[in-house]
Amino acid sequence: MEKSLKYISTSHHTASLADRECFHLTKIQQFQWYGLLRKRFRDISGSMVLSTCNRTEIYVESVETTAAEIRDFFISNTLKETSSKATGLFQYSNSTNETLCHLLHVANGLNSAIVGDGQILGQIKEAWFNSIELNMRGSLLERAMQSLFKTHKRVVNETKFHQGTQSTAYKALKLIAEEFGKSNLHSKKLLIIGAGDIGGQILRFLPKFAFQQVFIANRTHEKAVLLAAQNNIETFDWQEVENNNVDEFDALITAVSNRPKLIKRMSKSQRRKIMVDLAMPANIDRAIANGDHNKLFSLDLISGSVGQNKLARQQVEELIANELNEFSLWYQKRQVRTFLRAHKQTTAQLLNEYLNNNKLKQQFSEIELERLINRISGKLVKETAKEKFSALTENLTVQNLKWMMQVFATQKMQYEKDRGISC
């Protein structure tokens, strides 16, 4: 059987935020899954594990292992109690072309919660580097990643799809501005909790929103100090965040990895507070949302298109279609090469048996015999590629064997002539 590329995916398209939290993998868990997959499914020659705030996906390159088997194994090893409902939270495919199509759409932001969000590419790169580091790159997966980077570069250079402010970070700031009124931001204090990738993106868009004061808090204080100095904002003590002493702020944006329910209580004052939780799992306990006073926006609530240009999206789809065609041609040629290598080995084995059965081996030295077999089997494979390959047969028929012997006789005579041996 031929190797193929497969994937499983649970995302905002198929699962709620609460369901996605169950399948979210920390960085340590992502590394562990490479080992689990390799140990459980011996035919897997490549894999990539991707887990973000909106999706968890596993890509594998294998011969016999199916995507459904990967899905069921993942569910059973992730959930404490499994149910038939869980399988419905996943998309999957065993088709190499379908898997690549899905990957290209994800990488270019077409499947993002905020359509066009460019953050996903960096997350995929990190997942791919992990795969390489663990020697799980695989030839099909590597070729698929080449297609991904090539397509993304063309999308950036040839379309306007990623131009503008299409990101979760920008949408978070925009929601706060809409809730308070952009003209009222000059009297509002904002606290950004978390100084990772999302926190960095928020700071990038911050100059577009004129808050009275902006603070940043992070578990690693030095990183918060550095970002505060670079962006002309202030730091807030992390212990105060841990103690949930954040009542002085009008708005919170949280993006701290692996800290579920970091914020779980809020004062009962009449002061209105807008909270945006961009973390997975969620940093803010949903129970503290309190009508108009404490309003909470989760990842699912801020998701949606932000008016992408239809023409730009169509151009991206066309670029993806072109790359899929190129990959398909490469994949077909790869299958041909794989078949011909196997066919040549079979032919050489038959020739060797023929020579042995007819006591012709003794006429040649080992080196001469090897050259003769390579020469004849190469000729036969070339003829097979031209005349016989359309049938895609893996076994030589009796007719093919007779034809091969005829070619062998001709080649033997030519070989002896080249060596100066009289017939």
The string of pLDDT tens digits covering residues 377-387 is: 666 666 655 55
pTM of the model: 0.71
Who has greater pLDDT, 393 or 350?
Answer: 350
Span 220-232, average pLDDT: 94
Cβ–Cβ under 8 Å, residues 17 and 302: no
* Whether residue 344 has pLDDT greater than 50: yes
Cα-based distances in Å from 210 to 57, 187, 195, 216: 38, 9, 20, 16
The 3-state secondary structure of the chain, one letter per residue = CCCEEEEEEEECCCCCHHHHHHHCCCHHHHHHHHHHHHHHCCCCCEEEEEECCCEEEEEEEECCCCHHHHHHHHHHHHCCCCCHHHHCCCEEECCHHHHHHHHHHHHCCCCCCCCCCCHHHHHHHHHHHHHHHCCCCCHHHHHHHHHHHHHHHHHHHHCCCCCCCCCHHHHHHHHHHHHHCHHHHHHCEEEEECCCHHHHHHHHHHHHCCCCEEEEECCCHHHHHHHHHHHCCEECCHHHHHCCCCCCCCEEEECCCCCCCCECCCCCCCCCEEEEECCCCCCECHHHCECCCEEEECHHHHCCCCCCCHHHHHHHHHHHHHHHHHHHHHHHHHHHHHHHHHHHHHHHHHHHHHHHHCCCHHHCCHHHHHHHHHHHHHHHHHHHHHHHHHHCCCCCCHHHHHHHHHHHHHHHHHHHHHCCCCC
Tell me the pairing of strands 55-62 and 46-51: antiparallel
Tokens at residue 384, please?
């097979």
Structural domains in the chain plus CATH codes:
4-163 (3.30.460.30), 168-302 (3.40.50.720), 337-418 (no CATH)
pLDDT of residue 173: 94
For the segment 253-311, what is each residue's pLDDT rounded down to a tens digit? 999 988 999 999 887 666 789 999 999 889 999 888 765 578 899 888 876 544 456 78
Which residues lie below 8 Å from residue 112, measured CB to CB, with a gap of 6+? 54, 106, 120
pLDDT of residue 49: 98
Among the residue ranges 19-33, 182-196, 233-247, 394-408, the one predicted with the least confidence is: 394-408
Tokens at residue 97, please?
């072309």
Distance in angstroms (rounded) separating the CA atoms of residues 276 and 284 = 9
The phi, psi pair for 7, rounded to 5°, reads: -150, 155
Tokens at residue 308, please?
């992408």
